[in-house]
Amino acid sequence: MPPIRKLAFVINSEKTGAAELGRVLIEIAKRAGVTVKDTAVFPVSPGFLKGMDACCVIGGDGTLLGVVREAAREQVPIIGVNRGSLGFLTTFSADEARTEFAGLLGGTYQVAHRAMLDCSTGPGSHDLALNDVLIKDEVNSRLVQLEVHADDELVTDYICDGLIFSTATGSTAYNLSAGGPIIHPNAEVVAMTPICPHTLSNRSIIFRHNVRLKVHSRGENSKLLVAMDGQRNLVVCEGSPVEISISPLRLLLAQRVGYSHFSVVRTKLKWSGGFVEKRV
């Protein structure tokens, strides 16, 4: 990959050791002649990544999710350094970042192109999500009645606690907790997983990459909450369906050369097995 000459840092100072690690990596970058800018504020402001070659995010997956919209719009690769818990997106550990950072700056990394969801809830209400779009009643204790269409064909109606629409990247997030499938991140599909459906045969459905989904509320006096990546909420315009599709934009995610998705999954989810252990 091309060497990194302009690098932005987004540092979640509330994470243990993040501020100290940020100072170390910034010093490495400056010694390599890289132009650096940094912030502890996320989501980042519009234009913060403009003209940057890459963005180093130090924190957890939640910190990285606060950068993805701007990074996708500017097509700036994200280097995620994990100072959180699971860290499916922030794939570099602190030790790996310290030892490999000079090589990363020199271009020793690969870039994964991750699909994102485009969601509209009516005129002027629109956003992007890397992991998922959640649709539920704004009152946590209430069920929702939702009718789902795929390319104008009725799929079915649901009485449930909510619906999760997930990318392959987000399949290991809320979707997995709700019983949805793990999907390889290179599969550009959309998974729809109901939360606690009242019909036991309601299970996850996988839609092709170019599907256009519409969700209508059929509950009386029900007001929907649409949450993007668990961080931002969209207001649903009265009478408008929630429309979801895969965005033409991709998030560029920097990874070490030889990165193995299933190695990360085995580690993060603590999968075990005698045969796997013998092969390692």
Neighbours of 125 (CB within 10 A): 15
Share above pLDDT 90 across residues of the chain, in percent, rounded to a whole number: 80
193 in Cβ contact with 175 (< 8 Å)? yes
The third-level CATH classification (topology) of the domain covering 6-109+256-279 is Rossmann fold (3.40.50)
- The span from the CA of 79 to the CA of 253, in Å, is 7
Q: Where in the chain is the domain with CATH 2.60.200.30?
A: 116-248
92 in Cβ contact with 100 (< 8 Å)? yes
As a whole number, the mean pLDDT across the chain is: 93
Inform me whether the pLDDT recorded for 215 exceeds 80.
Answer: yes
Instruction: Give the DSSP letter of residue 138.
Output: S
Inform me whether the pLDDT recorded for 224 exceeds 70.
Answer: yes
The phi and psi torsions of 273 (rounded to 5 degrees) equal: 170, 140
Q: Helix, strand, coil % (nearest 5) of the chain? A: 20, 35, 40
Q: Rounded mean pLDDT of 192-196?
A: 97
Which of the following is catalytic: 38, 53, 61, 95?
Answer: 61
Inform me whether the pLDDT recorded for 63 exceeds 60.
Answer: yes
pLDDT at 260: 86
For 116-248, CATH number out of 2.60.200.30, 3.60.40.10, 2.60.40.10, 1.10.10.10 equals 2.60.200.30
H/E stretch holding 20: helix 18-31
194 in Cβ contact with 163 (< 8 Å)? yes
- The span from the CA of 51 to the CA of 28, in Å, is 20
Inform me whether the pLDDT recorded for 6 exceeds 90.
Answer: yes
Residue 11 Cα distances to 41, 57, 82, 270, angstroms: 8, 6, 11, 27
61 is catalytic: yes
- The span from the CA of 177 to the CA of 198, in Å, is 18
Q: Where in the chain is the domain with CATH 3.40.50.10330?
A: 6-109+256-279
